[in-house]
A and B are shown apart, each in its own frame.
Chain A
């Protein structure tokens, strides 16, 4: 059974750095066909892709947020970590991690429940 679970602070202050952890089970982060993405959704708004990482440590970032994001993984702990620097109230959103399955085409087939992060002083 594949599961993903996000964890991290529910409240951060403007200018602070956000660190979110995605703990996965039911698959290995060393599987060549699989990666993990971070996707966010501001309240009442659309989904926005942030970053992904694959088993070979290949990474991609949102063009508009690239300077603020870092994604990494710890395969032994089955965890993927996203850091976002210089947080702003507009970054208030539910942050999801999702498994990116690539068996030819790629798609997110499993999602975490999401974690709401509020940016406020």
Chain B
């Protein structure tokens, strides 16, 4: 049972916009920033979004993040087949631990 709640799956067709939600509490998302990671099949996770809405160098601007209260969202616009992956949100919790979401498997139809 993950501390942060994500939908287990999401899907979209090429070119579509999809969003993935991440719900937490006042001790994690409510008081700290959210990071998002993309994990392609058989590979290590990769930083996708940090500090709620910042993209590392090299991450396409099709990916964007937002946060409101105790929830955060990852949006992917112009969906491409190579976006098919697992996506995880993570945040620091004030109980002195990092917490993850359970992951969302994105399927490009």
Contacts and interface: CB of A to CB of B under 8 A. Distances in A.
Interface of A: 37, 46-49, 52, 60-63, 96, 98, 104-109, 111-114
19 contacts: A46-B100, A46-B101, A46-B102, A47-B100, A61-B97, A63-B95, A96-B45, A107-B35, A107-B47, A107-B50, A107-B90, A108-B47, A109-B50, A109-B56, A111-B45, A111-B46, A112-B44, A113-B44, A114-B44
B89 to A, nearest CB: 10
B81 interface: no
Interface in B34-64: 35, 37, 43-47, 50-51, 56
Q: Among the interface residues A52, A98, A111, A112, which one has the most CB atoms of the partner chain B within 10 A?
A: A111
Contacts of A60: 96-97
Contacts of B37: 47, 108
Contacts of B45: 47, 96, 98, 108, 111
B33 interface: yes
Contacts of A96: 44-45
Contacts of A62: 97
Instruction: Give the secondary structure class of A's interface.
Output: strand
B2 A46 contact: yes
Nearest to A106: B92
Interface in B1-54: 2, 32-33, 35, 37, 43-47, 50-51
A63 B97 contact: yes
A85 to B, nearest CB: 19
Given A46-B2, A47-B103, A106-B92, A111 B98 contact: no
A91 to B, nearest CB: 17
B108 interface: no
Given A108-B47, A109-B47, A109-B56, A48 B100 contact: yes
B99 interface: yes
